[in-house]
Amino acid sequence: MLSARRLAQCSRMTASTSRVKFASIHSSAVLQAKAKSPEAKANLAKRLAREKAAGLNRPHVVLGNKPGDESKWRNCDLTKILVSEEDVRATPALPAQPEEGDVKLPTYTNFGIGESEKKMLFETLPEMSIEAHRLVLQRDLAREDAQITPNDLQEIEGYYGPLEHHKASMLARIVDLRNANAKGIAFENRRRCVEAFSEDGNPNDTGRPEVQAAILTMQIRNVWDHIHKFKHDIGSRRSLRTLVHKRAKILKYLKRKDRDRYDAVLDRLGLEPKSVEGELVI
């Protein structure tokens, strides 16, 4: 019979694929591996250098421009219409007490109030209120078989005119964007994106690819600034990745549908084509 030592040697030789005797742990690939030649090391270094240079020249997949070059973003149409919290806080506050003359309106308004709504609220509505009071007085006098006189009209104008002016001034203070929080400012920016990137014939086309890409770019910038302030917010990092890929998907669809619109919206959003095309690694 074979001794125990001889059996152990046989088992080690059988289990190993190496030519070296009694190699029970290492595989043959590790034992027989040769050091890389200087030529292979040089080729590897060149490849790494090329990849590094390509990464430096590639636009940032989040910001959409090359690192250190913010000129395209600062000059694009999207930047010109967006309102930041610093812009809102820099505007002068409206006086607490109404002043004589025209109603002073805030620089930025809340609740999606645009130019047409401003005209209706602060010009048309006060005049209609005064006219309503005149009609009520005329109805009451008609019941008494009397007619409205010029003095009555002057009394109505003298009493209800300052009253409507005061109400309009108080309303202007309420709708001032200075009273809004971050969600209110984001709502105003979304309204501006929809208005600026919609077609002329359809000013509220929220399903238009250009509008969606503009809103996503605004949200990406906001989340990016938030991450820089709160570096350990993992949830925001996941949200950022989702928003970037969603924007790339929408722009890819637009490129397939209409190449001219695709090229035009990239310039308006301040994005480089390579920042939304190909593999996006965040």
Question: What pairs with residue 176 in β-bridges?
Answer: 109
pLDDT bracket for residue 147 (50, 70, 90) = confident
pTM for the model = 0.74
What is the rounded distance in angstroms from the CA atom of residue 265 to the CA atom of residue 193?
Answer: 12
214: nearest Cα among 239, 245, 191, 193: 193
pLDDT bracket for residue 37 (50, 70, 90) = confident
pLDDT at 255 over 50: yes
Tens digits of residue pLDDT in 86-134: 999 999 999 888 888 889 999 999 998 988 999 999 999 999 999 998 8
Question: What pairs with residue 109 in β-bridges?
Answer: 176
Q: What are phi and psi of 26, to 5 degrees?
A: -80, 150
- Token readout for 23 is 């190699």
DSSP-derived 3-state class of residue 109: strand
The pLDDT, as a whole number, for residue 87 is: 94
Tens digits of residue pLDDT in 217-246: 999 999 999 999 998 999 999 999 999 999
Residue listed under structure tokens 């105003």: 188
What is the rounded distance in angstroms from the CA atom of residue 186 to the CA atom of residue 268?
Answer: 19
- Residues 176/83, Cβ–Cβ less than 8 Å: no
pLDDT at 158 over 70: yes
What is the rounded distance in angstroms from the CA atom of residue 178 to the CA atom of residue 201?
Answer: 32
The pLDDT, as a whole number, for residue 9 is: 52
pLDDT at 262 over 90: yes
- Residues 198/211, Cβ–Cβ less than 8 Å: yes
Residue listed under structure tokens 């040769």: 34
**Biggest distance spanned by C-alpha atoms of the chain:** 139
Q: What are phi and psi of 76, to 5 degrees?
A: -80, 165
- Residues 242/34, Cβ–Cβ less than 8 Å: no
Task: Measure the CA angle with vertex 98, ends 93 and 104; round to 5°.
Answer: 55
The pLDDT, as a whole number, for residue 265 is: 96
Tens digits of residue pLDDT in 61-90: 898 888 777 888 999 999 999 999 999 999
* Residues 182, 185, 187, 192, CA torsion sign: negative
- How many residues are listed for the chain in this entry? 282
- Residues 133/163, Cβ–Cβ less than 8 Å: no
- Token readout for 167 is 């109400």
- Residues 73/65, Cβ–Cβ less than 8 Å: yes
- Residues 136/127, Cβ–Cβ less than 8 Å: no
